[in-house]
Amino acid sequence: MSGDKVAEKTELRSRLSYALTDGCGNLLYCIIGSFLLYFYTDVFGLSVAVTGTLLLATRLLDAIDAPLWGFIVDHTKTKYGQSRPYFLWLCVPFAVCMWLTFTTPDLSGTAKIAYAAVTYIAAGVIYTGIQTAITSILPNLSHNSEERVVLNTFRMVGGNVGAFICMTFTLPLVAYFGGGNDQLGFSMTLAFFGVIAAVLLFVAFRNLREVNVEKIKRIPIKDSIRAIKGNWPWMILVLANLIFWIALTIRQSTVVYYCQYVLGDKGIAAMINGFMVIQVLGMLSIPFLVRHTSKHTTMIIGFVLAILGHIGMYFAGADLSVLIPFWCISCIGQGIACSMPFAMLSDTVDYGEWKTGIRASGFLTAIGSAFCIKAGSGIGGFIPAMVMDAFGYVPNAVQSATALMGIQVVFIWLPAAIFAVGIVPMLFYSHYEAKEEEVLEALAQQ
């Protein structure tokens, strides 16, 4: 495909519509990563130990649906395309399931835990379908690697806007709608966000177009699995992305605890989360960084900035004039490290096709994106809950010095340490990144 034709398929309207997909996904689903731990313990009334176990068990169970959604997408062939129809089919179920997750019927004991588990899993299953479609459509929006980076940058900026709105305005809206009743406030807030997300996902469906729809083939399940064989860059990227989402979930889910109990004001969480919008700078820098370094180096830069930001926050203590700049540095790094795997997954789809002759974009991107997000969210929700419980955290109470230390550990040091671990697999990616031009040339000849 020529560069001119690629450009025709990715005009500004399409790029902005691709940004809407992740924006809508994050508008709703980031509420789980940022507030579900707090919602379950301090609003719904589950113990921190039960909540941690619930988050881990349900999320790991739920993560199994990622490859299933990948198979489903790989078997989809409609006049609308392969991935695009799922924005239409799942927008309303996604909004409804997210609303149910943050709605609290009058239950107690086992019934309350069962309700939390069922609604959480349902929301996660539908989100996986949305997330799989968002990622798997990218290889079919353009066959040009550089254009995919641009498209992915639009997507991640859109996702960042959705996350910014969610994390900045959720707690204020809960207070506004609830009038002191946080259970009502969360339910009304999710209903409000849900309507917006469903409408905008429909808009994205209307505007996006997949290239070469007539050439899409249904792939047998065994062939989708075979696409993994020898696909080392994909395996490396999946590992690095999983590590990133574990660290990110720990970081996001403990902000509210740190602000309420260490800084002494829960309201500060909304302000600090609002500064996360600065990660757009990291996302916008990606095309420049990739052009002058490499993709794997760019992702490592993101990890390093995230680590430095957390270390700086430790030395800042309760001084917001120092803490917030370091938080922003970490956010910029987070934006880079979060964005890169989604662009690089398209390259691993190409590598898999070159290695095996099978183009399993749905399966490979589902594991590389939705599975990593959900498994990472489960593990990242479980770890801080268990650490806080071990340090003696008690919901809605004055915390002991030991419990405060535990909150500091999970907010400052755990994310920094896990981000550092994520650098290791990326050091091995350079060998395969050097083969990208060779792979694309071989596929073009085929």
- SS3 label, residue 130: helix
Q: CA 370, CA 248: separation in Å to the nearest integer?
A: 15
The least confident of 54-63, 281-290, 292-301 is 54-63
**pLDDT, tens digit, for every residue of 294-327?**
999 999 999 999 999 999 999 998 899 999 999 9
Helix 414-426 to helix 232-253 angle, to the nearest 10 degrees? 170
Q: Is residue 214 part of a domain?
A: no
Domain extent, residue 127, equals: 10-209+223-445
Nearest to 223 by CA among 352, 344, 120: 352
215 belongs to a structural domain: no
Examine residue 182 and state whether it is found in any structural domain, yes or no.
yes
Q: Is residue 2 part of a domain?
A: no
For the segment 60-78, what is each residue's pLDDT rounded down to a tens digit? 776 678 788 888 888 888 8
Say if CB 360 and CB 352 are below 8 A apart.
yes
Q: Are the CB atoms for 251 and 422 separated by under 8 Å?
A: no
In a domain? residue 216 = no
Q: Of 160, 74, 113, 101, which Cα lies nearest the Cα of 360?
A: 74
pTM of the model: 0.74
Q: Is the pLDDT of residue 1 over 50?
A: no
pLDDT at 201: 95
The total of structural domains in the chain comes to 1
Tell whether 3 is covered by a domain.
no
Percent of the chain predicted with pLDDT > 70: 95
Query: b/e string for 47-61 if b means 16 or more Cβ within 10 A?
Result: bbebbbbbbbebbee
* Cα–Cα dist 349/365, whole Å: 8
Which tokens go with 341? 């795997």
| Residue 14: closest CA among 197, 165, 205 | 205
CA distance 252 to 38: 11
Looking from the CA of 330 toward its CB, the CA atoms found within 13 Å total 30
**Distance separating alpha carbons of residues 222 and 229, to the nearest angstrom:** 11
Give residue-wise pLDDT tens across range 88-135.
999 999 999 999 999 999 888 899 999 999 998 899 889 889 988 998
pLDDT (0 to 100) of residue 4: 41
| pLDDT for position 20 | 95
Q: By the 8 A CB rule, do 301 and 327 touch?
A: no
H-helix or E-strand spanning residue 159: helix 145-178
Asked if the structure places residue 405 within a domain, the reply is yes
Going by C-alpha positions, the residue among 223, 283, 230 that lies closest to residue 435 is 230
Classify residue 400 by its DSSP letter. P
DSSP tag of 277 = G
Whether residue 217 is contained in a domain is answered as no
* CATH number of the domain encompassing residue 352: 1.20.1250.20
